[in-house]
Structure 1
């Protein structure tokens, strides 16, 4: 798991970390049952406060994206698959809207975009 912290970002450090771990889980990069670094190890690796990483893990646990097991650590949860699916569908919808907007900028109608999409599906045999 690669986490990048930007000092130039207007987002607080904990939010940058939270967003990146959340995204890794929602994208499937981190899968159910996979262990996360300990709070202390993550803080050391990122050179941030243990309080910061603790806050991130607590928020992820509230969202039911991770589970904490006393004495064993934190793991990606497998219990909230519907939430993860909904979040992934939301990302797909956002990308589709971006495509529609960009198509409109170059003079394509929604039907033109759909035709192009259909061609791509047929070419890829999806």
Structure 2
């Protein structure tokens, strides 16, 4: 599992960790039942406090992305398929919102964006 911590980010480190793990789960890069690194192991690899990784895992567990079994570790939890789809749609919506904002700043109209999207959709 590759997690990158950014010192220049305004987000706390535990949120960066939780967000990246959540993203891996939503994108299907981690499957139900996959184990996560131990809290201590992840802290050691990222060279951060155990408290920080513990908080990230607690957040993920609270949101239903992982489940922790005492003495066994933390694992990707079973996801409701409809809820998972909604989360994926939210990610796309957020990205498209950013595109719309940038387009307006650059004076690019809807037709041009629509044409770009159509071309990209056919290429990918």
Question: In 1, distance between residues paired with 2:105 and 2:55?
Answer: 42
Question: Which secondary structure does the structure 2 equivalent of 1:68 belong to?
Answer: strand
Question: Unmatched 5+ residue regions in structure 2?
Answer: none
Once the two structures are TM-superposed, the CA of residue 41 in structure 1 deviates from its matched residue by 0.9
Structure 2 counterparts to residues 1-126 of structure 1, below 5 A: 1-104=1-104, 108-118=108-118, 120-121=120-121, 123-124=122-123
1:25 Cα deviation from its structure 2 partner: 1.7
CA contact (8 A) 1:30 1:76 kept: yes
CA distance in 2 between counterparts of 1:114 and 1:74 reads: 43
**Residues in 2 aligned to 1:8 and 1:104: alpha-carbon distance in whole angstroms:** 27
- Cα distance between partner residues in 2 of 1:8 and 1:96: 24
Preserved CA contact (<8 Å) 1:65 1:80: no
Task: Determine the C-alpha separation between the residues in 2 that align with 1:51 and 1:64.
Answer: 20
**Structure 1 residues 120 and 3: CA distance shift in structure 2, 3 A:** closer
Cα 1:11–1:35 change in 2 (3 A) is same
Instruction: Give the paired residue count.
Output: 124
Query: TM-score with structure 1 length normalisation?
Result: 0.77
Gaps of 5+ in 1: none
Structure number, greater radius of gyration = 1
- Asked if 2 retains the 8 angstrom alpha-carbon contact of 1:36 and 1:75, the reply is yes
Moved more, 30-39 or 59-68: 30-39
Q: Distance in 2 between matches of 1:85 and 1:105?
A: 30
